[in-house]
């Protein structure tokens, strides 16, 4: 069975794997890190309960509105596709088109949001997976990401969880402090400019 759950941004702040159900197998977390968005995946995929294996190529990319996310290298890698018997669309955002990762490493793992999952070619059920992808110069808004926890489950123990982690309060404070600093610098520059102008121009 495929299910989904969306939590509010406040709930997601500081979320860790400890809050996820014990049967969670593979988890990919998206975070804003400076001016980039980083997706990091880890865990394993339980192939029991999935069917209709086929093969093809996968590349790190994201389309939140369609529920598609593939994590790993930004190059086409050989993968095996599996699907659930009762697919349901699993979306985690809206609005943005297909965006390819700028860089990445590890295994190519993903889901199209409609009950289809991809794993490295020849993957053995339950084996450890680890990967990461970075979207340079991106933000949650640009990628169309909505903070929350989204989970697809199948069989008795298989699951694929997507965590879109809202910025922590300290991050917001630093960002606001940076904006305030820029505003002060601009005001100071204007003030200095007025002070240096000849009096006959300053009075105009």
Together in a domain, 67 and 155: yes
- Token code pair at residue 33: 């890190």
Write out pLDDT tens, residues 99-133: 999 999 999 999 998 889 999 999 999 999 999 99
Number of domains in the chain: 2
Together in a domain, 149 and 100: yes
Mean pLDDT of 51-75: 96
pLDDT over 60 at 13, yes or no:
no
| Residue 106 bridge partners (DSSP) | 131
Together in a domain, 42 and 131: yes
Together in a domain, 185 and 128: no
Together in a domain, 48 and 149: yes
Task: Indicate whether 184 belongs to any domain.
Answer: yes
Task: Indicate whether 3 belongs to any domain.
Answer: no
Together in a domain, 141 and 95: yes
Mean pLDDT computed over every residue of the chain: 80
Enumerate the H helices of 39-165 as residue ranges.
140-143
Task: Indicate whether 4 belongs to any domain.
Answer: no
How far does Cα 65 stand from its chain's mean position?
A: 12
Together in a domain, 179 and 161: no
Write out pLDDT tens, residues 23-40: 449 999 999 999 999 999
- The residue range of the domain holding 35 is 9-167
How far does Cα 50 stand from its chain's mean position?
A: 24
pTM here?
A: 0.73
| Residue 201: pLDDT band with limits 50, 70, 90 | very low
Enumerate the H helices of the chain as residue ranges.
9-12, 140-143, 169-196, 199-202
Most confident of 55-64, 152-161, 191-200: 55-64
């Amino acid at each position: 069975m495929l299910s989904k759950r969306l939590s509010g941004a406040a709930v997601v702040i500081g979320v860790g794997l400890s809050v996820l159900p014990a049967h969670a197998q593979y988890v990919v977390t998206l975070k804003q890190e400076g001016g980039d968005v980083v997706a990091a995946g880890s865990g394993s995929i339980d192939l029991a309960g999935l069917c209709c294996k086929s093969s093809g190529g996968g590349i790190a990319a994201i389309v939140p509105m369609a529920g598609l996310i593939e994590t790993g290298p930004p190059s086409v890698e050989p993968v095996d596709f599996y699907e659930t018997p009762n697919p349901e669309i699993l979306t985690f955002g809206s609005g943005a088109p297909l965006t390819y990762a700028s860089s990445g490493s590890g295994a190519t793992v993903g889901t199209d949001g409609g009950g289809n999952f991809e794993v490295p070619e020849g993957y053995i059920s339950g084996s450890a997976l680890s990967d990461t992808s970075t979207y340079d110069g991106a933000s949650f808004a640009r990628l169309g990401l909505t903070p929350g926890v989204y989970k697809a489950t199948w069989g008795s123990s298989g699951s694929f969880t997507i965590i879109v982690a809202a910025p922590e309060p300290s991050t917001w404070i630093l960002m606001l402090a940076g904006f305030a600093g820029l505003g002060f610098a601009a005001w100071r520059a204007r003030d200095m400019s007025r002070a240096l102008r000849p009096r006959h121009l300053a009075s105009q």
